[in-house]
């Protein structure tokens, strides 16, 4: 749902020339990023390849087999050829499956780099065939899921996005079903605090986690089966979302694809800015993870809303819009269509600001008009919540009003106890009831409203867009990596040659190949 379509009348009276200049600069920035990360892979990208070849499980020390396999080759200096090269050769030489190869390596029975090498063309053909089989299998599952959504019915936008965060996956199932009963459309299971810094994905179901539940394939499967069961029983499809970010972005994208997740928070800058993950590592992993999500039809959520947690919402508004332009281009470069790019935005102007509602409305309308085909993910006010439940509920009501009036695609619901503790089920139900009341009361408000020419809303939106243009053109001259070093986003600075996970970046050699990238790239141009 949107209140603007390509070529439609702009309620904000935006200058098409300024918009075109922003898109051009953002495209230039995205192209620079592609050039900067070319010729590199990461250990997590290669682990994602092993997972798409069917490798799963853990050894006796609970080390995931994808890590065991990739570390085995990396320690021997061979990862520059790509893990697929070595697995493909082992498949030819031993007749084993990728899973059996990983188990043999884990048991110390097989040295991949010590095997006789088959012809490179034969290796490519064998491992690409194996990867293609897996991709077709997952694609078939997604076709079945699309049919299920059509049969049960998808809710109209804005989709109500509700978080669960108990730490115990089985308790998350209880919360998720309660959220669905109360009208939630998307259940997002928050990850355990700082899982994004683990350079591996834990194996199996988990019942302990601080601030959230570990993202594991088993947990994904448990949640998916539970919500599918609920959806069938109640005749309404409920989507699932998780967090495809941090040091295991591409692996989590694969796990989510295997288990049929509908949405993924998929943004490198959050980890770069707020978890000190190396910039280059994050951008390489983001490129491949978004390619996987885009290929299978998963909607990605970007993280611009997080900048307003650390920077003033009014002052930082141009940087949010600039980042949306850049993120849009980076996602498109990974093959993600607009319908799957849920750009981030947030309602974060402090309540005492005079006419704050008008400024928020202007920003939300600006995002909708700039990206009419993207299901923008709109976030509630959280930064300035101080424990006053009544003020929070009032702020969330204004947030809900702007959401429906500007036709956002995905809305993370506001909860009265936000900022005090992890909300209980009944707190989320109150938030959903508030959403329902406002959405019903103001369903067609956006179609009825025009803005005063030269008024506060138009002027603010035009000022933010002009600031975004200036910022984008400056970044296009210096490059995104230098802009991040200069604290352009969220008032946080990170260095290119520092940060967590930098040791996991691998320079590729002649002959490197990644069958996942090649097959998905071919499909996008077919």
DSSP string for residues in 90-151: HHHHH---HHHHHHHHHTT---GGGSPPPPHHHHHHHHHHHHHHHHHHHHHHHHHHHHHHHH
Interhelix angle for 456-478 vs 317-333, to 10°? 60
Enumerate the active-site residues. 270, 305, 377
Going by C-beta distance under 8 Å and a sequence separation of 6 or more, which residues neighbour residue 503? none
Percent of the chain with pLDDT over 90: 83
Question: What token pair was written down for 498?
Answer: 């520092």
pLDDT for 385 equals 80
Half-sphere exposure of 134 (CA within 13 A, CB side): 26
CA angle 40, 46, 51 (to 5 degrees): 155
Q: What are phi and psi of 371, to 5 degrees?
A: -130, 65
Q: Within the chain, how many helices (H) and strands (E) appear? A: 20, 11
Cβ 166 vs Cβ 84: under 8 Å:
no
Split at pLDDT 50, 70, 90, the class of 8 is low
Judge whether residue 473 has pLDDT over 80: yes
Q: What mean pLDDT, rounded, does the chain reach?
A: 93
- Using omega within 30 degrees of 0 as the cis cutoff, is the peptide bond preceding 158 cis? yes
Segments in 236-278 forming alpha helices (H): 249-259, 268-274
Split at pLDDT 50, 70, 90, the class of 418 is confident
pLDDT tens for 201-235 read 999 999 999 889 999 999 999 999 999 999 999 99
Judge whether residue 7 has pLDDT over 50: no
Lowest mean pLDDT among 172-176, 308-312, 357-361: 308-312
CA dihedral 287, 290, 296, 297 (to 10 degrees): -140
Judge whether residue 307 has pLDDT over 80: no
Split at pLDDT 50, 70, 90, the class of 483 is very high
For tokens 């990867």, the residue is 131
Cβ 160 vs Cβ 413: under 8 Å:
yes
Average pLDDT for residues 404-418, to the nearest whole number? 92
pLDDT for 348 equals 87
Q: What is the 3-state secondary structure (H, E, C) of 45-70?
A: HHHHHHHHCCCCCECCCCCEHHHHHH
pLDDT for 4 equals 43
If you classify domain 154-460 with CATH, what class do you get?
alpha beta
For tokens 């790509």, the residue is 82
Lowest mean pLDDT among 10-14, 66-70, 379-383: 379-383
pLDDT for 309 equals 62
DSSP string for residues in 307-333: HHHHS-TTTTHHHHHHHHHHHHHHHHH
Going by C-beta distance under 8 Å and a sequence separation of 6 or more, which residues neighbour residue 521? 291, 335
Going by C-beta distance under 8 Å and a sequence separation of 6 or more, which residues neighbour residue 27? 329
Element (H, E) at 74: helix 65-75
DSSP string for residues in 412-470: EPP-TTTTTSSPPHHHHHHHHHHHHHHHHHTTTHHHH--PPTTSHHHHHHHHHHHHHHH
Global pTM reads 0.94
Split at pLDDT 50, 70, 90, the class of 387 is confident
pLDDT for 3 equals 42
Length of the chain as a residue count = 526
Return d(Cα 293, Cα 22) in angstroms, integer. Answer: 26
Question: Which of 422, 409, 305 shows the shortest CA–CA distance to 2?
Answer: 409
Per-residue b/e over 233-260, b at no fewer than 16 CB within 10 Å?
A: eeeebbbbbbbbbbbbbbbbbbbbbbbb
Instruction: Give 485: exposed, middle or buried? Use CB within 10 Å, 0-12, 13-18, 19+.
Output: middle
Return d(Cα 420, Cα 391) in angstroms, integer. Answer: 13
Domain assignments of the chain as residue spans, ordered by start: 40-132, 154-460
């Amino acid at each position: 749902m949107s209140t603007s379509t390509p070529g439609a009348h702009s309620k904000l009276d935006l200058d098409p020339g300024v918009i075109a200049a922003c898109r051009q600069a953002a495209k230039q920035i995205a192209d620079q990023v592609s050039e900067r990360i070319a010729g590199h892979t990461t250990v997590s990208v290669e682990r994602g390849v092993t997972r798409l070849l069917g490798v799963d499980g853990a050894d006796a020390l609970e080390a995931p087999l994808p890590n065991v396999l990739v570390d085995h080759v990396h320690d021997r200096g061979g990862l520059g050829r790509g893990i697929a090269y070595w697995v493909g050769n082992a498949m030819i030489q031993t007749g084993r499956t990728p899973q059996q190869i990983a188990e043999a390596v884990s048991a110390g029975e097989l040295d991949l780099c010590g095997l006789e090498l088959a012809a490179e063309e034969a290796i490519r053909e064998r491992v690409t065939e194996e990867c293609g089989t897996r991709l077709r299998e997952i694609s078939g599952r997604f076709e079945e899921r699309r049919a299920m959504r059509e049969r049960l019915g998808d809710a109209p936008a804005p989709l109500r996005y509700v978080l669960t965060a108990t730490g115990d996956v089985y308790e998350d199932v209880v919360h998720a079903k309660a959220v669905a009963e109360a009208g939630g459309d998307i259940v997002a299971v928050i990850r355990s605090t700082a899982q994004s810094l683990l350079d591996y994905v834990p194996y199996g179901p988990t019942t302990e986690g601080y601030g959230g539940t570990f993202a594991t394939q088993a947990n994904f499967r448990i949640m998916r089966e539970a919500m599918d069961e609920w959806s069938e029983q109640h005749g309404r499809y409920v989507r699932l979302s998780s967090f495809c970010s941090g040091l295991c972005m591409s692996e989590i994208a694969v796990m989510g694809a295997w288990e049929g997740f509908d949405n993924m928070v998929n943004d490198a800058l959050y980890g770069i800015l707020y978890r000190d993950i190396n910039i280059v590592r994050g951008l390489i992993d983001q490129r491949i993870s978004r390619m996987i999500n885009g290929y299978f039809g998963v909607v990605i959520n970007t993280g611009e809303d997080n900048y307003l947690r650390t920077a003033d919402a009014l002052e930082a508004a141009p940087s949010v819009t600039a980042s949306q332009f850049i993120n849009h281009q980076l996602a498109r470069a990974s093959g993600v269509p607009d319908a799957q790019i849920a750009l981030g935005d947030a309602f974060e102007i402090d309540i005492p600001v005079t006419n704050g509602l008008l400024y928020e409305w202007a920003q939300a309308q600006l995002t909708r008009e700039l990206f009419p085909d993207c299901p923008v993910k709109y976030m509630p006010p959280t930064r300035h919540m101080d424990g006053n439940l009544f003020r929070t509920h009032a702020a969330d009501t204004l947030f809900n009003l702007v959401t429906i009036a500007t036709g956002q695609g995905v809305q993370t619901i506001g909860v009265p106890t936000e900022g005090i503790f992890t909300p209980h089920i009944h707190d989320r139900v109150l938030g959903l009831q508030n959403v329902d009341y406002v959405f019903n009361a103001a369903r067609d408000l956006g179609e009825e409203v025009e803005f005063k020419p030269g008024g506060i809303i138009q002027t603010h939106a035009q000022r933010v867009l002009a600031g975004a243009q200036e910022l984008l053109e400056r970044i296009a001259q210096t490059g995104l990596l230098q802009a991040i070093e200069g604290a352009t986003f969220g008032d946080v600075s990170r260095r290119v040659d520092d940060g967590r996970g930098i040791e996991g970046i691998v320079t590729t050699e002649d002959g490197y190949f990644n069958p996942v990238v090649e097959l998905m790239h071919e499909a996008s141009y077919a």
